[in-house]
Chain A
């Protein structure tokens, strides 16, 4: 099973999914991420899915789960780079991401997290 690497950039954790996710990898990523947020005290998680060709209900649910875990550690989650075909398919599938924030690309995702972070400090 392949594991998805988690990178730490400043106070953010970046997960860039570059592989065809199998269910075990999804579960492993959720565990790894929980460990990493707790260990680093990161205030934000960015999941970059610009290379992901399909998101089915299992993978879709992962986003909501990760957002839920992050929230417990007072961190925000943004999913960035969803492809149009993937978005259309998710809508047809009837899946919502349960209020997970989204952004067009990495840069905008980081900006959103920055704004959210500031809001919390003040």
Chain B
């Protein structure tokens, strides 16, 4: 078991293997918050999709992971920041099967289904921030 992380932690996403590192960091937080194995897997998978988006569509950026609480439950929150081109048509980007790159088009919509909370903040020409949260059941 890796050492317990205190507070939020950030990792750059500038290369292919950073995606793996982000997955591992999210896994560490998910285990520490004692999410169920299935929920851990869902969150890590969502993080993997989003980190890849940040790298490929956002031209790189960083991920931020933290333990959160809403007073009743604990959870893990991960956000993915880039200063890329932004997403012009959100409805389209969130639709299944739509992709501007070479993916299957499951990245955003798939990640959204895997988490409890999904927030997308994007501005054309400025960049995109996607924040996801998974609460302990």
A contacts B directly in the complex (CB < 8 Å)?
yes
How many contacting A-B pairs (Cβ < 8 A)? 71
Cα separation A83 to B40 with both chains bound (whole Å): 13
Q: Is A9 an interface residue when CB atoms closer than 8 A count as contact?
A: no
Q: Is A24 an interface residue when CB atoms closer than 8 A count as contact?
A: yes
Stretch of B20-28, B70-78, B85-93, B124-132 contacting A (4+ beta carbons < 8 Å)? B20-28
Q: Is B45 an interface residue when CB atoms closer than 8 A count as contact?
A: yes
Given the known interface contacts A20-B23, A23-B52, A54-B23, the answer about A93 and B45 at a Cβ–Cβ threshold of 8 Å is yes
9 smallest CB-CB distances across A and B, nearest first, come from: A85-B41, A93-B110, A56-B48, A57-B106, A85-B38, A22-B20, A89-B41, A85-B37, A22-B17
> Known contacts A86-B41, A94-B106; can you find 18 more A-B pairs with CB under 8 A?
A20-B24, A22-B19, A22-B20, A23-B16, A23-B19, A23-B52, A54-B23, A55-B45, A56-B48, A57-B103, A89-B41, A89-B45, A89-B114, A92-B42, A92-B114, A93-B114, A94-B109, A94-B110
Residue in chain A with minimal CB distance to B18: A22
Min C-beta distance of A97 to chain B, whole Å? 12
Instruction: Please classify how large the interface on chain B is, using the bins under 10, 10 to 19, 20 to 34, 35 or more.
Output: 20 to 34
**A95: which of B17, B24, B104 is its contact (CB, 8 Å)?**
B104
A84: which B residues are within 8 A, CB to CB?
38
- Produce 1/0 per residue, A54-70, CB < 8 A to B: 11111001000000000
B20: which A residues are within 8 A, CB to CB?
20-22
